[in-house]
Amino acid sequence: MKNEKPELLLAGSMMQYVEDQLEDIFTVHRLAKAAKGEALLAEIAPRVRAIATAGGAPVDAALMQKLPKLEIVSNFGVGYDSVDAKWAGAHGIVVTNTPDVLTEEVADTTIGLLIATVRQLPQAERYLRAGKWLEKPFPLTAATLRDRTIGIIGMGRIGKAIAKRLEAFGLAVVYHSRRPTSGVPWRHYPDLIAMARDVDVLIVIVPGGPATKNLVNRDVLEALGPNGILINIARGSVVDETALIEALRSKKILSAGLDVYVEEPRVPKELIDMDHIVLLPHVGSASIHTRRAMGQLVVDNLKAWVEGKGPLTPVPETPWPPKGR
């Protein structure tokens, strides 16, 4: 039939207004809502041309190889570690993500989490609500942001936006990444341990996935030292969570502000039981404004693709037009 809509597999769920737009373009199959996911998949597999995915629903080789007509995977989020983009690239499937539209929001959240952690703002708020201020003032915080040197792990778009903000605060900024980023004024450390030794705060803002798994390990935390504070706004997988719990317990580092965890939404009880650290439920980009913009980019990538215009924001593993074309 000529005017039939292309078929799309929705892995995870999106904001209603995004799903409505997807329905305008595609026949949408909802994997998460299907009582029998495998049966649904078997039935639609020969026809699915696109996947839209959110919330870390895995789009791995096992799933993609069941879909012989698959052309594009549109990922909600700048991080696409739940999509096997390398496999997709090797099999002619395009992967897109949602860069830029969340950069400033995530950088803002990072600064909020940093200050909240250093100055114990959530603890102070809990103190007031518990009526304790009537008895005596909230204790002075051991830590201050003043005179700290901040080491950023990762100097992509969001890393730069964080560094710019920190500079405006009058703080010294350095960074670690595999290769130096051109055009930035901050000192580059090729060696993460050396940087951890020289700074009092580490901010993690690198992509997740196998290349960065447990990058922040026991040695890095020990090098950060007893006055050190770890902020993770990237992916839980980048930090060795067991080593972090141990470092916090034994006071090898002072504190941590975390937005991400290894097994979200499960947060280890050991972390929840520590009152001096700050824990957020993965809210880096989580405003209606920014999530709408991200959702729109998911739709716009798919729309451009079905209209034959190519993807708007392909990931580096699946360049467009493909190399050699």
10 Å CB burial of residue 210 (0-12, 13-18, 19+) is exposed
Smallest distance, Å, CB 129 to ligand 8YV? Answer: 28
* Cβ-contact 84, 267 below 8 angstroms: no
116 vs 233 by CB, closer to ligand 8YV: 233
* Cβ burial 16-33 (10 Å sphere, 16+ → b, else e): eebbebbeebbebbebee
Smallest distance, Å, CB 284 to ligand 8YV? Answer: 5
Give, as ranges, the residues between 97 and 116 that touch ligand 8YV (CB under 6 A). Answer: 102
Site string for ligand 8YV, 58-77 (x = CB under 6 A): ------------------xx
Q: Would you call 264 a catalytic residue per the annotation?
A: yes
* Cβ-contact 110, 162 below 8 angstroms: yes
Binding residues for ligand 8YV, rule CB under 6 A, total: 11
Active-site choice (222, 264, 270, 317): 264
Nearest to 256 by CA among 172, 102, 272: 272
Question: Is residue 96 part of the contact set for ligand 8YV (CB under 6 A)?
Answer: no
Q: Would you call 276 a catalytic residue per the annotation?
A: no
* Cβ-contact 80, 95 below 8 angstroms: yes
Give, as ranges, the residues between 41 and 60 that touch ligand 8YV (CB under 6 A). Answer: 54-56
User: H or E segment at 174?
Assistant: strand 172-176
Backbone angles phi, psi at 172, to 5 degrees: -80, 135
230 vs 253 by CB, closer to ligand 8YV: 230
Tell me which residue has its CB nearest to ligand 8YV. 77
If one counts every other C-beta atom within 10 angstroms of the C-beta of residue 197, the result is 16
Question: Is residue 204 part of the contact set for ligand 8YV (CB under 6 A)?
Answer: no
Question: Is residue 282 part of the contact set for ligand 8YV (CB under 6 A)?
Answer: yes
CA triplet 152, 113, 168: central angle to 5 degrees? 60
Q: Would you call 291 a catalytic residue per the annotation?
A: no
Enumerate binding residues for ligand 8YV (CB under 6 A). 54-56, 76-79, 102, 282, 284-285
Catalytic residues: 235, 264, 282
